[in-house]
């Protein structure tokens, strides 16, 4: 059973470009979470999605950031018009179906390290 | 509301010595507590977790942690450090109806030969 798969592992973008980060949850998991880790800091919650639904995006910046988890395919975190301050590691986690699983069974991917130059 | 404080951003121990990484939490609901380890340029791996029941929790790689409600602590220990334990360790809190995990800022463990 493959773990949470994120790609790319490393992404370099120039200021003003778009960044697309992909996350395939573990098989059987329908809940996806995105976290951001700034250098020398812990992880900060961004958004929680179920298939075709955004459940909680309270941690997402109001502008330029969006997330989706379509019926088919991976979850996508999209950052438009990137700025230097977006440089960070972005982690995806998934949990199984029962909704309360996040508290007990969060599995993290290896992250995408975004560098904005 | 929930929060986590990890005391000491860097901890250095000799190989074979006791490892103690401190974590204090704040939670208005019964907490679920977690320790994760992160190796350089890697994701987070769950070391151990406390949800309910026994307050002394054993995890992988010889680590354990004790939930002390009166002290609002969940310190991580290992009797004898190994070079391979060098990594960053994160304490996190969840619980109640919250699906979010709130992470501490991390403690980097250095193991000296």
A98 close contact with B: CB closer than 8 A: no
| DSSP-derived 3-state class of residue A3 | coil
Tokens of A32: 């996806």
Residue B111: name the closest of B84, B76, B75 by CA: B84
The predicted model gives A34-61 an average pLDDT of 90
Q: Tell the burial category of A89 from Cβ atoms under 10 Å away from its Cβ (0-12, 13-18, 19+).
A: buried
Q: Over 80: is that where the pLDDT of B99 sits?
A: no
Q: Do B51 and A41 touch (CB under 8 A)?
A: no
Q: Over 70: is that where the pLDDT of A101 sits?
A: no
Residue B29: name the closest of B102, B82, B105 by CA: B102
Please give the pLDDT value at position A30. Answer: 83
Percent of chain A with pLDDT strictly greater than 70 = 91
Confidence of residue B2 (pLDDT cuts 50, 70, 90): confident
Contacts of A98 (CB under 8 A, 6+ apart): none
Residue A53 neighbours by CB distance under 10 Å:
9
Confidence of residue A99 (pLDDT cuts 50, 70, 90): low
pLDDT, greater one: B52 or A77? A77
What number of CA atoms fall less than 13 Å from residue A116's CA on the CB side?
18
A109 close contact with B: CB closer than 8 A: yes
pLDDT, greater one: A31 or A63? A63
Q: Over 70: is that where the pLDDT of A81 sits?
A: yes
pLDDT, greater one: A90 or A29? A90
Smallest Cβ distance to A111: which of B43, B90, B100? B43
Please give the pLDDT value at position B89. Answer: 96
Give the residue on A whose Cα is nearest the Cα of B41: A110
Give the residue on A whose Cα is nearest the Cα of B5: A42
Dihedral-angle region of residue B90 (phi above 0 means left; psi in -120 to 50 means alpha; beta otherwise) = beta
What number of CA atoms fall less than 13 Å from residue A53's CA on the CB side?
6
The predicted-structure confidence for B75-89, as pLDDT tens digits, reads as follows 999 999 999 999 999
Please give the pLDDT value at position B97. Answer: 65
Contacts of A48 in chain B (CB under 8 A): 99-100
Q: What is the mean pLDDT of chain A?
A: 90
Q: Do B100 and A102 touch (CB under 8 A)?
A: yes
């Amino acid at each position: 059973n493959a773990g949470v798969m994120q790609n790319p592992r490393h992404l370099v973008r120039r200021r003003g470009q778009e960044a697309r980060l992909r996350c395939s949850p573990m098989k059987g998991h329908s809940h996806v979470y995105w976290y951001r880790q700034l250098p020398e800091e812990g992880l900060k919650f961004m958004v929680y999605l179920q298939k075709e639904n955004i459940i909680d995006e309270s941690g997402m910046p109001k502008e330029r950031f969006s997330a989706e988890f379509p019926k088919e395919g991976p979850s996508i975190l999209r950052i438009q018009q990137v700025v230097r301050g977006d440089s960070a590691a972005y982690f995806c986690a998934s949990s199984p179906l029962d909704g309360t699983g996040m508290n007990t069974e969060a599995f993290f991917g290896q992250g995408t390290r975004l560098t904005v130059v | 509301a929930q929060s986590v404080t990890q005391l000491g951003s860097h901890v250095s121990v000799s190989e074979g010595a006791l490892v103690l990484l401190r974590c204090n939490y704040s939670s208005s609901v019964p907490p679920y507590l977690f320790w994760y380890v992160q190796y350089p340029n890697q994701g987070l791996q769950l070391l151990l977790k406390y949800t309910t029941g026994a307050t002394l929790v054993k995890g992988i790689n010889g680590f354990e942690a004790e939930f002390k409600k009166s002290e609002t602590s969940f310190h991580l220990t290992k009797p004898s450090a190994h070079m391979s334990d060098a990594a960053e360790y994160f304490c996190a809190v969840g619980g109640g109806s919250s699906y979010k995990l709130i992470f501490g800022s991390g403690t980097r463990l250095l193991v000296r030969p």
